[in-house]
Structure formats: structure tokens, C-alpha cells
Amino acid sequence: MSKLNSYRTGPDAAGRFGIHGGRFAAETLMPLILDLEKAYRAAQADPSFREELDYYLRHYAGRPSPLYFAERLTEHFGGAKIYFKRDELNHTGSHKINNCLGQILLAKRMGKTRIIAETGAGQHGVASATVSALFGLPCTVYMGEVDVERQQPNVFRMKLLGAEVEPVSSGSRTLKDALNEAMRDWVTNVADTFYIIGTVAGPHPYPELVRDFQSVIGDEAKAQILEAEGRLPDTLVACIGGGSNAMGLFHPFLDDADVKIIGVEAAGDGIETGRHAASITGGRPGVLHGNRTYLLQDEDGQITEAHSISAGLDYPGIGPEHAWLNDVDRVEYTAATDAEALDAFQLCSKLEGIIPALEPSHALAHVAKIAPDLPRDHIIVMNMCGRGDKDIFTVAQMLGVEI
Amino acid sequence: MTTGTARIEARFAKLRDEGRAALVTYIMSGDPDLETSAKIIAGLPGAGADIIELGMAFTDPMADGPSIQVAGLRALKAGITLRKTLAMAAEFRRQDSETPIVLMGYYNPIHAFGVPEFLAAAKASGIDGLIIVDLPPEEDEELCLPALEAGLSFIRLATPTTDDNRLPAVLANTSGFVYYVSYAGITGAASADADTVATSVARIQKHTDLPVAVGFGIRTPDQARGIASVADGVVVGTAFIDALRDSLDDTGAATAATVDAVLDRTRDLAAGVAGAKRDGKS
């Protein structure tokens, strides 16, 4: 494949990123999906939409988030200079609010009166419940029973915010099943309901619009690193489940050829065990939840269950733009195990006074692998996309501690 | 011998001559086990099924309600694969060369099989048409156009949200028949209303000469009679799946009553369809 002029022009009119993406949706939803695209184009062309979104990002979510030089971790690894993009400091504790604010403003423009969302770790559910409370819309969040169990604090948070949490008992009872159930709700209540998808997946235009709403992460990081270091970073690192925090950090840097970009999937017990959630590393292209992308599946095209200590990464697919960035070799995709993430979680808490979510702990686990061997003037920017308060019960259990 | 789209057309032509609508029966291939499923399929035409829709099990059936979700899981647990579904259709085809078989399901198992390989295998197995829930006209190049090229019908779903502007796009590459989904929602969740359906069917018929079959929310002989008087076909699914489920033992295994449970329900619904008044349609 010849080198592209730009990696930032996708998707095409059919919603494709190379072979990935598309609109693999039931007919009942298609008219709405086409409407959504029209509404989004109109919003993009309307400066007042961007102004309103910027207002809420700044005054409600607390953006810009800092770019922080993690000095003690840098010393500890003894190599590359490590910066964290502190998206865990956003209101609601993760990057998810960026996208939810964008989508609820779209929902308002479209005259929708009810919000639904799916959630894995509960961060997107909390962010959806938050913006629904802010704009006075009823909100139903679908969450797999397994995740309800391991993310109790977030379940309670959503309820406090006035959302209904619907535990999903079908399939593997995790994020993919929550998505199925949200789709079933959407197809039933298509006239009045807006589905806030939490990641860069789903039928076109979702992967594009979620990416655009999350790109504020990379745009800020770029300006901040230029101010701090006078140059672009050498390496970007972010964790990937569906991949929205990663896409938000990566996208503004895709055409900066000298910036190496690394996405870290969840390797669970290890790729070789088959118990993992690494769709690119361990899957192959297929069609699920409205798009073609890399999926964990068996010979017969049945979706296999993902495994990760992190509920937010426990998904058998990945956003289609990531799938394409893998195919064209612009982004390197690798994976970190549960055990490696758990080590990184503890190390970061002790050395930096930052309790990271288990999701970015995977990114940090990869930083831990590469930083020691890199020169001291090598700059790494890692997306600290969520805080770890929600994970303390899971981690305590893994460490054999009773709370 | 007529196959593919021609077999579906021949069936609707025959029913037109008889002055009645088609009973289209959906069952999940491999549910509750492969042997019982084969017996049910073999018995369907004799019980009054005019067209057989064979569900292809999928782990993530986003448009299906709990009954069909669980049926798919039973079939997967019993070891069904797309290849075995095709083998089951081929076995049926050796006994019956007239009853059309339409595969219904989701795209990924076909995607994993490989589209050209799948189409060749489906044709060789006597499959006549495909209904793929997650392939709207926007994705026609994936499977629809190659299927038509291979002489198989690609039967599109039209829904209450498919307005007059969109209908031509939905109907453009549809063949065999049009499947009108009677309500916005998942399978087995609501009831079809004959009056509303009549209006919708008339709207679709303004855009196409293809037969229009109606599905979703038709469970009883009375409902079937009502829909059969305003449409060219009546699709029933969840009612059969529920009859099958109710016949299983505590472990979810088939009993001596399972095959008859489905076939008796088929006979009841066929009687409903046959009892319809079809004004100006005969």
C-alpha cells in the first residue's frame, strides 16, 4: 500500500475506514441513522453548536485537562520522559463526558426526549446519566449483570443521577450484551429515543462523531506538549476497549509522521490462553453492532466472550477506525495482561499519588515495558483516561484484601 | 426444476391460483437439537407451511426478543453451525423440491464463511432466499448483489420507519417477496394490528408488484386470519419457538411431544390463514 497523504480524512461517504466501518444496521434504525448523520453535518456547520459544546466542556466538565509530567514514574523507569494527559480529572472521572456532552447537544437539536446508553465499567453510563440530568432528559443505561456486580459504585452513582440501570442477563452479561440490549431498546423506541453510544463503534456516523467529540483530548495535548517541551511527543500510548479515549488522543497526531502511536488492548490472562479482549491482536474482521471491524469470534462467526479484569475493555470488538489504522500500519496495537495492569495500577498509586482506572493501567503497563529502554529525551504522552476509585473493590479482591 | 427466486415465485403463483396467502414459518435451525430440528423441518409442509424460514443461530441477535435469543443459544449449545444448517436444508431438499427455504439471520456467520463460498454452498443445498437483518440497502454490495447474481432471492425487511422516500431504495434489489415488519421493535414483543398493517401493505404495494408478507407480532390463528386477508403472506416465528420451548423437559431436551408441538401449532395457524377472506385478491 502506498503512503497516504492524510490519515485524517476518513470515513468515506459510506462510513468506511478501508474495509472497516459501514452501516450494518436493521432497517428500522436506518432512517434514524441517516437523520443523525444529517443532524451532525448541520451541527458541524453551525458555529453555535461548537460554542455551546465548548462552553460545557470548559465550565461543566472542567476542560482543558492538564498535561502532567509524571516525574517520579519517569525516574523509576529511568528512561523516557512520561507525561499523563489527565482526562481522569474531568467531571465524572473519565474522558467519557467529552462525548456525552456532544451527543446530548445533538439529541436536543434532533428533538429527542429520551436517552439510552450502554456501559461496561460504568464510566460511560455515569457520564450519560450526568448529561441527562443536566439537560433534564430521562435516561436508561444498559449494563451487563457481571459488570453491575463488579462496578457497584458506578451503578449507585447512575441511580443517584436519576438514571434507570437495566441489568442485562443475556449472553456473556458484559458490555457486548449491554450493547445488544440498548440496540433492542432503540429499535423499539426509535421515534423519541437518542442512543448515546460510548465508544468509536456502531453504525456510521457514530465512530466519526464520537472520535470528533473525543479529539479535544489530542488537540489539547498537542498544544500543551508544544508549550511544555517546544516539540511534539515521540510516542503516544493509550488503552483500547472500543477505543474512544485512544482515538481522541491519536487522531490529531495521525499526520505527524514522527509521532509513534501505540494502542494497548487487554490481554486478560494472556493472548495465548484465549482468555483476553484483544480484538486486533487476537481476532479477525467480522460484522457486529453496526460495523465491520476486528472481532473475537470462532470459525463459524459466533462472537466469543472477551475476558479482562477491566470492565471497560471487556469487549470483543474495536472501533473500525482503529482496525483501519492497524491495517495501514499507522498505529501499533499491542496488549497488556490483567497482572501487568494490576502492577501498573499499584505503582502509579504509590509513586504519583494517582489511582488510575484499570483501563489506563493497561496503557501504563505498556509504558513500563518500553520506557526503561528509551533515551531520556524521548517524550511519551499517555492518556490517563479514567480514575480508579470505581476499581478499588476489584483490585482489593485480586490482591486478596477484604474491604 | 425451479430453484432459488424462481421457486419462491412459483410458490406465490400457486397460492394466488388457490386464492390464499402464504404461511411462512420461522424456526431456529438446530433447536433444540439437530435431529429434532430436522424432523420438524421435514414435517412443516405437511402441516401447512408454504415457505420455510430457517433461522441461523447467532450469539448476538440484536433484533430478536428473548424467545428467539434463547432458541439460538439452545441451537448453538446443540452444536449447530451454518454448515450444518445448510446440510439440514439439503436433506430436506431431497424430499421436497417445491417448498421454498429462506435463511434468516445476521451477517457475521456468512461473513466468516466467505460470501462466494457461502452462496455456492447455499445454492447447492437448495436454499432459495436470504433475509439478513443487519444488511440494509446501504450495504448491498456485501451480499445482496452477489446473491441475486447467484439466482437467490434477497428478501428485504420494510418497517414502519421506512417512509415513502426510502421505500424505493429498500425495494430496489429485493426479490421473491417483501417482508413487512409490523411494528418497530424486536421479535415477539408486540401484536400486529390488522388495520394498521393493511394501510402499510397497501403503501408498499404502490411501489412494487412483489408479494408482501407480514411478520412480527402474529401468534394466533385469529391474528393470522386477519393479516392473511390484507397481505400475501403471514410470517410466524416466536409462537413456534414458544410451543417448542414449552414441550422441552426440565433439562431443555426434546421430548416425544416436541415435533408435534410445533407441527400442531403450524396446523392451527395454517387453518387461520386459509380462513381469511381475500377481497379482490383471488
> Contact A295/B108, CB-based, under 8 Å?
yes
> Contact A24/B135, CB-based, under 8 Å?
yes
Q: Is residue A333 within 8 Å of A313, Cβ to Cβ? A: no
Q: How far apart are CA B210 and CA A373, in angstroms?
A: 68
- pTM as predicted: 0.96
- In the block, which residue shows the cell 442512543? A195
Interface membership of A173 toward B (CB under 8 Å): no
Residue B116 lies in a domain: yes
CB contact set of B189 (below 8 Å; sequence gap of 6+): A188, B65, B183, B216, B217
Name the minimum distance, in Å, from the CA of B235 to any CA of chain A. Answer: 17
Q: Is residue B148 within 8 Å of B139, Cβ to Cβ? A: no
Distance from chain centroid for Cα B150 = 20
Within 8 A of A171 by CB-CB distance, chain B residues are 59-60
Best of A20, A174, A180, A184 to mutate (most B CBs within 10 Å, chain B): A184
Element spanning A213, H or E: helix A206-214
B64 counts as catalytic: yes
Within 8 A of B139 by CB-CB distance, chain A residues are 22-24
Provide the domain count of chain B. 1
Residue B281 lies in a domain: no
Name the minimum distance, in Å, from the CA of B197 to any CA of chain A. Answer: 16
B53 counts as catalytic: yes
Tell me what pLDDT residue A2 has.
Answer: 56
Within 8 A of B104 by CB-CB distance, chain A residues are none
Residue B91 lies in a domain: yes
Residue B37 lies in a domain: yes
Within 8 A of B166 by CB-CB distance, chain A residues are 30-31
> Contact A180/B60, CB-based, under 8 Å?
yes
Name the minimum distance, in Å, from the CA of A178 to any CA of chain B. Answer: 11
Per-residue pLDDT of chain A (403 residues; tens, 9 = 90+): 556 789 999 999 999 999 999 999 999 999 999 999 999 999 999 999 999 999 999 999 999 999 999 999 999 999 999 999 999 999 999 999 999 999 999 999 999 999 999 998 899 999 999 999 999 999 999 999 999 988 888 999 999 999 999 999 988 888 899 999 999 999 999 999 999 999 999 999 999 999 999 999 999 999 999 999 999 999 999 999 999 999 999 999 999 999 999 999 999 999 999 999 999 999 999 999 999 999 999 999 999 999 999 988 989 999 999 999 999 999 999 999 999 999 999 999 999 999 999 999 999 999 999 999 999 999 999 999 999 998 998 999 999 998 8
B64, B128, B140, B232: the active-site residue: B64
State which residue of chain B sits closest to A300, comparing Cα positions. B109
Which stretches of chain B sit within 8 Å of chain A by CB?
A: 57-63, 65-66, 69, 76, 81-83, 106-113, 133-136, 138-139, 156-163, 166, 170, 181, 184-186, 189
The mean of the pLDDT values for chain B is 96
Selection from A245, A371, A239 nearest residue A308 by Cα: A239
Tell me what pLDDT residue A311 has.
Answer: 86
Tell me what pLDDT residue A152 has.
Answer: 86
Residue B98 lies in a domain: yes
Cell numbers placing A90: 474531568
Helices B34-47 and B82-95 cross at an angle (nearest 10°) of: 40
Interface membership of A166 toward B (CB under 8 Å): no
CATH number where B260 lies: 3.20.20.70
Interface membership of A28 toward B (CB under 8 Å): yes
ipTM of model: 0.95
Name the minimum distance, in Å, from the CA of B173 to any CA of chain A. Answer: 14
**pLDDT of B216 above 90:** yes
Q: How far apart are CA A186 and CA B255, in angstroms?
A: 37
Which domain range does residue B133 map to?
4-274
CB contact set of A165 (below 8 Å; sequence gap of 6+): A125, A140, A141, A143, A148, A155, A158, A159
B31, B50, B53, B242: the active-site residue: B53
> Cβ–Cβ contacts within 10 Å for residue A403, how many?
7
Tell me what pLDDT residue A3 has.
Answer: 66
* pLDDT tens, position by position, B76-114: 999 999 999 999 999 999 999 999 999 999 999 999 999
CB interface of A with B, residues 374-403, below 8 Å? none
Residue B1: which pLDDT band, with cuts at 50, 70 and 90?
low
Residue B168 lies in a domain: yes
Residue B122: which pLDDT band, with cuts at 50, 70 and 90?
very high
Residue B279 lies in a domain: no
Interface membership of A205 toward B (CB under 8 Å): no
Q: Which amino acid is at A120?
A: G
Residue B281: which pLDDT band, with cuts at 50, 70 and 90?
very low
> Contact B166/A301, CB-based, under 8 Å?
no
State which residue of chain B sits closest to A203, comparing Cα positions. B134
Tell me what pLDDT residue B147 has.
Answer: 98
Q: Are strands A193-196 and A235-239 parallel, antiparallel or unpaired?
A: unpaired
**pLDDT of B41 above 50:** yes
Q: Are strands A290-295 and A20-24 parallel, antiparallel or unpaired?
A: antiparallel
Residue B190 lies in a domain: yes
